[in-house]
Structure formats: C-alpha cells, structure tokens
Amino acid sequence: FFFFFKGDFFPPLKRKQATLSLAARLVKHGRPPVMDVYLNTLQTVNYIDTGSEQSTSSASEQVQSILGNSGLNCLINNAAIGFSTNISTVTPEAMMTMFQVYTVAPLFVTKAFLPLLQTAAAKSGDPGMGFHRAAVINMSSVLGSITLNCRDTAKFRSYVYCTSKAALNMLTRCLAADLEPSKILCMSLHPGWVRTDMEGPHADLTVEQSVSGILSVLFGLSERDNGSP
C-alpha cells in the first residue's frame, strides 16, 4: 500500500497488511501538531507489486492524479519479505528474491516517482534539502552495516537479508549523488527491531514507538543527511 497526504506530507508506510484506519492511527501516535490538519486527507493507492514496472508505473499515475501539479514531497520505500538463510540453506533463488525486493525494487519505484519528486522540489520555496522539500527514504537495517557486523558482532548471519540491505545502502548513496542537483534528499533509515507480523512479538519496539522515532528523524533532515546509510 501507499499512504500519503494530499499536500505536503507523505507519512510513514506500514507493511503490506496495513489498512487505512491503521495508518491513521500510526500517524496519530507521535505526530507533530502541524500534522493534525492533514489527518482527514489521508488517502491510499491500490496494492503495488514492486517487482512489476507496469504496476509501479500505474501507482505513480494514480498518485499524480490525486496530487495534481503539487508534486510528491516524500517517498518511503518499505516493501519487505521475511525469511532467513545461513551458509547451509542459502540458494541462488533466495538471494535473487531478496535482492529484488530490497535493492532492485526501491531503485525502480524511485525512478517511477522521480518526476513527482522533482516537481515538489522545484516548487518548494524553502531553502536547502529535507522532508519539507523532497526526499526518498529507504527503509534499511543495521544488519546491512558492514562496519557494525564484523567478527563477534555479526551474530545474525542471514546472507540474503544482510547483503541485500548493504546493497540498498549503496543504492541510497548513488541516488543521493544523482538527485542532489534536483535538491531531492536520499537516505537509508533503520526503523529498529519492530513488533510486526514479520518480526514477531519479541522485537524491541512497538509500531507506535518506531513510527514516532521515524517522524522525529524525518522532520529533522537537512543537507548533511543526504546519502546517509
């Protein structure tokens, strides 16, 4: 699902099972007061198969039909699947499936929505870069960090997940360099270990806690965060 406001905000995405009422509840928790006026304009776009260029293109057209010529201020790439592999169980098919979801799809979704992001960035009268102007947020993971997953700290050895998230971080760096002239900020964001259907009930954070933290980060973004992994 895509959730967005007809205006200047594109609020955080839940996973595929999210509904409109749940999205409204998540935005309500931890929202800045300025977002109150936008709650009644929350809208959805039909389910998107991020592995299909046709589906992604159709979604961008739906968003454009709603937003008109105002452009899109924030795109959050948050599609996810859940399975783990180790050296004994990893397969080429598993690697390709995970890279498609976590690395390839965010690139082509961003390409599809790029004209809307460029429109918003060009229309903004605010200086600098940030969520207020135009931004692409790729939901990554600390498990994609090469620095933080070394020797004894590399406790979660899922080849498919860790490598695809590391590749996503490099994708973010590439997008940041390409889109900086258009004043579109790009960054990877770790949402924490969150109690979703995929992560289970023993994760550290509730969805509301994670969303509150994400909102705090988004509203504080500036040029210095462009390309942050």
Is residue 38 within 8 A of residue 5, CB to CB? The reply is yes
Q: In which domain, by residue range, is 14 found?
A: 2-225
- Amino acid (1-letter code) at residue 198: M
Instruction: Tell me the C-alpha distance between 213 and 192, whole Å.
Output: 9
Q: State the total domains in the chain.
A: 1
Q: What is the pLDDT of residue 137?
A: 93
Contacts of 132 (CB under 8 A, 6+ apart): 8, 73, 124, 126
Q: What is the pLDDT of residue 141?
A: 86
CATH code (residue 219): 3.40.50.720
Q: What is the pLDDT of residue 94?
A: 93
What is the 8-class DSSP label of residue 13?
P
What does pTM read for this prediction? Answer: 0.78
Q: Which residues in the chain come in under a pLDDT of 50?
A: 1-40
Residue 226 phi, psi (nearest 5): -65, 125
